[in-house]
Structure 1
Amino acid sequence: MTKDQLIQSFDPNGPGINGNLFGLPFTPETSDLVIVPVPWEVTVSYHTGTALGPAAVLDASSQVDVYVKNIPDAWKLGVSLSKIPENLLEESKLLRELAAQHIKRVESGEALLANDPLIGKINEATESLNIYVKSATQRYLRDAKMVGLLGGDHSTPLGFLRALSEKYNRFGILQIDAHADLRKAYEGFTYSHASIMYNALKIPAVTKLVQVGIRDFCEEEQDVITQSNGRVTTFFDDDLKDWRYRGETWDSLCNSIIKELPQHVYISFDIDGLDPKLCPGTGTPVAGGLEFQEAVYLIKKVAQAGKKIIGFDLSEVAPGTTDWDANVGARLLYNLCNWMAVSQGKLKTT
């Protein structure tokens, strides 16, 4: 069936289609926006579980009502999740066991060894992942589709950023996160989840990094921010809270954040940027953070400011002991999809 035929035959008020993202009737072929799942968490340094995030979000997404008050035709956009690559999940499990052995040694005080074959093996495997992600996302970009990525840990979108750099010669990253992720080769891993923004800044097309909600970082990362000559602007969580306590509104703070962004914007959303009551199962939860509606308001303001959201990732959603994390993640994912489409003129607001 064509996309129009699918829209005509689907009842958005009834139960959704089991196994489809948000219960919608679309496939990657009939969608305007495709989510690429990357079930990978090899280098996580605390709790595991994020590799199960894509499947958990998919399951929870059936509980999301697809009607949006200010975007009444949102569900008609056509959003789908490409097939979850089970081979990546299995490879991640095997490599994670090796990485955990290495991390345990490092945390017991052993020095990192030069040319450690275990580190070399994992770095090689994660670079192969970057190549896979670049190819998988590039495929849909070449078909003129909007693309988002669903991790996995926060290392997963690097290949996507590389793909976007071949389509856009200049863009900025809006990072919502508890962590700065500016460590160089954390624990010896070149492509650590704690190094995603350090690696992103190696891409010449990334002209600006704007970080929001950061509240757990090291001196090395502070030095990267300080020495970036304005390429990195960080809105630390404690500063945001201080400004709010002194009477500034979230709207005015969002305006200050958006002022730092260029015209083309990629949103990198680590779910631990939210208050951990919203994501208790995530790998590295940190007290503080944004409320759900504060995060959505910022994303909405980016679109309303006339910025073009060229892509996004949602990472670090771990199922935990309940489906709460995945439920929050699914609702956040739907908002990212909708406001990206608004920013590109694919959906209209009322």
Structure 2
Amino acid sequence: MNTLDTFDPNGVGLDNGAYFGLPFTPDEARLVLISAPWDVTVSYGTGTSEAPDAIIEASMQLDLYDALSPGAWRRGIATADIDYSLLETSQRLRSDAERVIRHLEEGGAVADDAVCRKIRRVNEGCVQMNENIRAQARAWLAQGKLVGLVGGDHSTPYGLVQALGERGEGFGILHIDAHCDLRRAYEGFEYSHASIMYNVLRDVPQAERIVEVGVRDYCDAEAELARSSERIRMFDDTQLSAAAFEGETWGATCRRIVAELPERVYVSFDIDGLSVEYCPHTGTPVAGGLTFNQAVYLLHETVRSGRRIIGFDVVEVVPRPGSSIDASTGARILYKLCGLTLKSEL
């Protein structure tokens, strides 16, 4: 019997442990979602390691019809088994990371004996997490699947980006974020959530272009790297706002952004790229940012331009008891990305 024979897309969301309550197994689906419950190196608020489960729960309240990609879900969106050993390791290493961060905030240095061992343990754990995600991604990519990742903090997609790079073809990264994430070994942590785009530039030459959108909180070194690297294009929040104030439509702005991307695109979507009302509990909230509809329009314009989305992540969602907005926003951005990714290859 076909998987869809007994599934009612107009009915109540199924509590089956899968994103959106969809009935597909990974073997049946075109797109597989892997999860990374991890937030060891976050430098302010914690809790994004709880996001995969919270987004699964919130996604059951989502209706499946999407005007931008109607029926795309029928090609199959599946949920890979979540490796909860990542969550256990994250919780264990987080205490080491917190001690390091506190030491630095009190004026200490990363080379001090008091924190050297803790930094080493955190870095070793992050390497293991990266290998875990890369192995999962490799396995599904080898089966011809599209792969998306649900974090976790923004360090978690590194293994997926590496796995895509290993396949040899060049691609661009559309990076929606409040932060550049171009810091080198931030707070002593080589694979910090604040370092992922620096690490991609260093390690994944197939990532030919990183187009950063909505960034509005970054340091001098990141600004200099963005200016000097031929592989980075920045559309920061100040530029975007100025263009709007001077009369440029959002559609025209999006076309300028998309023009900087190659034909194959990976989307890295940090939820704090949105305005804070959509993600009030995210780990490092920053005033300003995109509206939900602006972000969705940009994603749609990327696909409408003829570009193909080859993979994506949604990260830095922090659920909170008594508030559903963060997980609800994350679930809806995730669903838009799933549908547009599937649509983009038709």
Residue in 1 that maps onto 2:69 = 71
| Equivalent in the alignment of 2:206 | 205
Runs (5+) with no aligned partner, structure 2: none
Give the distance between the partners of 1:53 and 1:168, measured in 2 at CA: 31
Whole-angstrom CA distance in 1 between matches of 2:68 and 2:36: 31
Partner Cα separation in structure 1 for residue 191 and residue 21 of structure 2:
34
- Output the TM-score relative to the length of structure 1: 0.95
Q: How large is the RMSD of aligned CA atoms in angstroms?
A: 1.1
8 Å CA contact retained: 1:267, 1:312: yes
Which of structure 1's runs of 4+ aligned residues deviate more than 3 A? none
Residue matched to 1:348: none
List alignment gaps of at least 5 residues for structure 1.
346-350
* Cα distance in 1 for residues equivalent to 2:135 and 2:126: 14
Q: 2:235 corresponds to which residue?
A: 235
Instruction: Provide the rounded CA distance (Å) in 1 between the counterparts of 2:225 and 2:327.
Output: 33
Shift in Å, 1:304? 0.8
Q: Distance in 2 between matches of 1:261 and 1:163?
A: 20
Contact kept, 8 Å, 2:69 with 2:340, in 1: the verdict is: no
In the alignment, is the contact (CA less than 8 A) between 1:280 and 1:320 conserved in 2?
Answer: no
> How far off is 1:20 after superposition?
2.4
In 2, are the aligned partners of 1:67 and 1:74 still within 8 Å (CA)?
no
Q: Secondary structure at the match of 1:91?
A: helix
Output the TM-score relative to the length of structure 2: 0.96
Amino acid paired to 2:279:
C
Greater mean deviation of Cα atoms: 201-210 or 21-30: 21-30
C-alpha contact (below 8 Å) 2:96/2:119 kept by paired residues:
no
> Aligned partners of 2:180, 2:68: CA distance in 1, in Å?
33
Task: Quote the residue 2:343 is aligned against.
Answer: 342
Q: Work out whether residues 37 and 84 of structure 1, in 8 Å CA contact, stay in contact via their aligned partners in 2.
A: yes
1:1-350 → structure 2 map (5 Å cutoff): 1=1, 5-18=2-15, 19-113=17-111, 116-202=116-202, 203-228=204-229, 230-321=230-321, 322-345=323-346
Q: Deviations over 1:256-279 (max 9, x none)?
A: 000100111100000000001000
Counterpart CA distance in 2 for 1:217 and 1:37 is 27
252-261 or 84-93: which moved more? 84-93
Distance 2:24 2:52 in 1: 17
Aligned 8 A contact 1:53 1:318 in 2: yes
Task: Give the share of equivalent positions with the same residue, in percent.
Answer: 48
1:208 corresponds to which letter in structure 2?
R
Residue 70 of structure 1: how far off its partner (Å): 4.0
Cα deviation for residue 8 of structure 1 reads: 2.5
1:69: Cα distance to partner?
A: 2.5
Task: Please state how far the C-alpha of 1:7 moved relative to its aligned partner.
Answer: 1.7
Alpha-carbon offset, residue 16 of structure 1: 2.4
Cα distance in 2 between the residues matched to 1:284 and 1:168: 34
Q: 1:114: how far off?
A: 6.2
